[in-house]
Chain A
Amino acid sequence: MARLTVNGRAHDVDVDSDTPLLWVLRDTLGLMGTKYGCGIAQCGACTVHVDGTPMRSCSLPVSAVAHKQITTIEGLGSNGALHSVQKAWLDLDVPQCGYCQSGMMMAVAALLKDKPSPSDAEIDAAITNICRCGTYQRIRAAIHAAAGRRVSGMSSQ
């Protein structure tokens, strides 16, 4: 039994302690937005935030995240509104098949929290997720757009 807080809600889950967080999210809690791609932390389709840090949940045993704050794509926006990264993804029609994009957006949201206006080099270093449809050009543009939105959003307050 492990206690997790996912998207602000506490859950007690009865799973084997070596179960990766990915499968707890998907098969125990029914949060299907976080995806299985490789199982070895290569592709990043399973990226979630653990206490605000982007982590590859396919390789993270549930025992390691007990009592931690976990955010998934379903909890990225707030109060029913899209997160600035999701808005940028929508505006620039980033997804094609879309399968990798939850993990991609979670990685980007964490990057922007850390570095509100990342350079291309910082983006290259931080965003190592795989997109087989090759949406990288639009991903880069959307990251810059989201960074701009964040800046203008802050200035208007």
Chain B
Amino acid sequence: MSRVAHFDRRSFLASVAAIGGALALGFEIPFGPRAIHASSFRREITAWIVIEPDETVIIRVAKSEMGQGSFTALPMLVAEELDCDWSKVKAEFAPPHENRRRDRVWGNMSTGASRSISASQNDLRRAGATARAMLIAAAAARWNVPDAECAAAQGVITHLPSGRNITFGRIAAAAADIAPPAQVALKEPKDWTLIGTRQRRFDVPDKITGKPIYAIDVQLPNMLYAAIVQCPVFKSALKSVDETKLADMKGIRHVVKQPDAVAVVADSWWRAKKAAEALPVTWDFGDNSGVSSATIRAQLHAGLGAADARVGRSDGDVDRALGQAVKRIEADYEVPFLAHATMEPQNCTAHVTADLVEIWAPTQDGETALAIAAHAAGVPPSKVVVHKMMLGGGFGRRGIFQDFVRQAVLIAKEVGQPVKLVWTREEDMRHDFYRPVATARMTAGLDANGMPVAWKIRTAGQSIIAAVSPRVMQFGVDRNFLQGLLEDMPYDVPNYLVDFAMRNTHVPVGVWRSVNHSQNAFFKESFVDEMAYAVGADPYLFRRKLLAKKPKELAVLEAAATHAGWGTSQPQGVFRGIALHNSQNSICAQVVEASVATDGKVRVHRVVSAIDPGHVVNPLTAELQTESAVVYGLTAALYGEITISDGRVEQANFHDYPMLRLAEMPRVETVIVASGGFWGGIGETAVPPLAPALCNAIFSATGKRIRSLPLKNHDLRSA
């Protein structure tokens, strides 16, 4: 009835790399013949576009949709150059297995780091321009006129001298036979008519009517349901299971043992869950059952004074400059592990037969899902089909590590029937890949003019890269851990040093909305405020001086301050805090207005975010993402904390890992300052500055400097 399925981590990572997983960098999108006619059932005009005789324009989307709006914004990039009628456009996901079969014609499907637009905009615009050229060439050939005499607009091609015209739908079949041009010219940004306009999201109608669009909604004939219990202590193993206890429970079909988990498969998920919770399981907790938040904290704090730190950036001579400074300030900061808590818990449906492995998954990277499924099933990747579904949230949880895919495939392989694996919320909370713990020691030296001449930053914490891909580390330091503090540090301080003492724990870590930026922005922006107050300067004007050589950052800071009314009067008891941070190749400044009641309760009234992402494709989704990022950052700042005891996570569900709710929602205002000339991300950029802007407002309100998060652990009651 059961057997242990073996899992070899090294070969798993190798197979992911071979297929081209989340870490694959750089790709070329071919528009040549192999991209054309590769699909026999539909007439493509480039791999991205299908135009139906009824004028429907189907645009393929390679990235996942987890709420960030890529399913709408990415087709806009194609449609801008295609010059089709936007009201006729429909989006569909490009299948990962077809991408593999067709030499990755749709490129890298990994969806994260806020780069869906920035990493694919050039290819998508080229696809649109290429298809437009092919449509025009087909029309010109039909009329026997030069291509140059024809123009496309709103899905209609017109022969300008004669006024003859034909719709895309009527010429599409002929256009599909045209050889794509080797070179196409893209429009200048000033000529864009669709990019930069507010467009309704394609995914909303299904999402307001309860359509079964998520992986957790998949239903298959003869499908069974699985619930899983994973070893509560990370990196330890299953010893034994007493299956006899399930003998009297109805509907139980299989107990599937995995190296670090046990799954119960039943004819309903409720029965599977009840049985999984009732099942007596013995674990081998290994060496980590003594680890706690206190031991981890001591481990990190030891790193603040350790000799093994690696330098990330060093300008001038920071120690000499500190020695000569008129004023010196120092402070230690720390932040906890955080869970992603996607609203849709981890799940995957799998069907493993002799010929095919088929999965339905909430994946941020369908190609990695495919590689994991192939490895788990022990079949070549050509035998795997991946159905990408809408995600009930992602935030980095479902990209690099797709443990739920591996588990579902192993279970389905053993069961021989389709199986839907759904994690309980408790399993989801306790088996995440958490935002890493981090701590920083900040030291600054200020001169007689009140400006910093030296800034030393020692960080210590857990490295994501060490777990994912140690070879990515450059110059022996995890530069990823120092995001926002390296060349992307916006402030000019002549003597500057940042280094990192890596302190890894047994707790799994991963990318959490903005990766390491949210930690580093809290350290950096809180301490810049400390510098300002140390010299009696206004925090906004102090930052302005530090940004004298950074016109783009200065413009964003000014936009936030001006919009918020920095320096103007505010309601009694309400105080402002400000912060600026560069991330995902975008710039964000925020002003938070908050009050602290005499009982210590923090209330955030208003958050103004100014963002410069270079170009903005869909201002609507840019605003939505900024609102979302503010809530994500605010939830973390107020409440977010995963703690460890006896080697395991203490929190279990939303009662002890609380989320911001509607009653606490501040007014959120977004100012898009799109300066053009570059393509930055928007999905994460407003997360990092939120916590420091809030804590700076709290300092203004109470005189209490917050140097650790979350705020719920601080006593802010009036004396």
Contacts and interface: CB of A to CB of B under 8 A. Distances in A.
Interface of A: 15-16, 19-20, 23, 26-28, 30-40, 42-43, 45, 72-74, 77, 82, 86, 89-90, 93-102, 105, 123-125, 127-140
A93 B271 contact: no
Given A30-B219, A37-B425, A99-B344, A74 B67 contact: no
A90 B204 CA distance: 7
B203 interface: yes
A33 B210 contact: yes
B286 interface: no
Instruction: Report whether over half of chain A's contact residues are helix, strand or loop; otherwise say mixed.
Output: loop
A134 B625 CA distance: 9
A37 B392 CA distance: 10
Contact of A137 (B67, B422, B627): B627
Given A43-B654, A74-B209, A134-B630, A123 B343 contact: no
Given A36-B422, A137-B668, A99 B393 contact: yes
Contacts of A31: 210
Interface of B: 66-69, 200-201, 203-214, 216-217, 219, 225, 250, 268-271, 341-345, 390-395, 422, 424-426, 620, 624-625, 627-632, 635, 653-655, 659-663, 665, 667-668
Contacts of A96: 67-69, 624-625, 628
Given A16-B250, A102-B210, A27 B268 contact: yes
A78 B439 CA distance: 55
A156 to B, nearest CB: 23
A102 B627 CA distance: 20
A136 B392 contact: no
A35 B391 CA distance: 13
A101 to B, nearest CB: 6
B26 to A, nearest CB: 29
B210 A34 contact: yes
B250 A86 contact: no
B204 A93 contact: yes
Given A82-B208, A90-B204, A134-B628, 16 more contacts: A16-B250, A16-B270, A40-B655, A77-B209, A95-B203, A95-B204, A96-B69, A97-B393, A98-B204, A130-B659, A131-B662, A132-B341, A132-B395, A133-B67, A133-B343, A133-B393
A128 B425 CA distance: 18
A137 B665 contact: yes
Nearest to B251: A16
Contact of B663 (A36, A97, A98, A124): A124
Q: Which 8 A-B pairs have the closest CB atoms?
A: A33-B210, A134-B631, A99-B392, A98-B207, A97-B67, A96-B67, A124-B663, A73-B210
A90 B425 CA distance: 29
27 contacts: A32-B210, A38-B425, A39-B425, A43-B343, A86-B208, A90-B204, A90-B205, A95-B67, A95-B208, A96-B67, A97-B343, A97-B344, A97-B391, A98-B203, A98-B208, A98-B390, A100-B392, A124-B662, A129-B662, A130-B654, A132-B342, A132-B632, A132-B659, A133-B343, A133-B628, A135-B628, A137-B627
A32 B343 contact: no
A74 B392 contact: no
Nearest to B68: A96
B662 A140 contact: yes
Nearest to A19: B270
Given A27-B225, A42-B654, A89-B204, A35 B667 contact: no
Contact of A101 (B207, B395, B660): B207
B662 A98 contact: no
Given A95-B203, A96-B68, A97-B66, A130 B661 contact: yes
A12 B425 CA distance: 29
Contacts of B211: 33
Nearest to A107: B662
Given A96-B624, A139-B662, A23 B343 contact: no
Contacts of B205: 90
Given A45-B343, A93-B620, A133-B67, A72 B210 contact: yes
Contact of A128 (B426, B628, B662): B662
Given A133-B393, A134-B660, A35 B344 contact: yes
Nearest to A100: B343
Nearest to A40: B653
A99 B343 contact: yes
B197 to A, nearest CB: 14
A37 B343 contact: yes
A20 B270 contact: yes
Contacts of A137: 627, 665, 667-668
Given A16-B270, A98-B392, A99-B214, A32 B219 contact: yes
B141 to A, nearest CB: 42
Nearest to B65: A97
A28 B627 CA distance: 37
B653 A38 contact: yes
Contacts of B213: 98
Contacts of B632: 132, 134
B210 A138 contact: no
Contacts of B210: 31-34, 72-74, 102
Contacts of B66: 97
Nearest to A20: B270
B376 to A, nearest CB: 24
A140 B664 CA distance: 12
Contact of B662 (A20, A28, A95, A136): A136
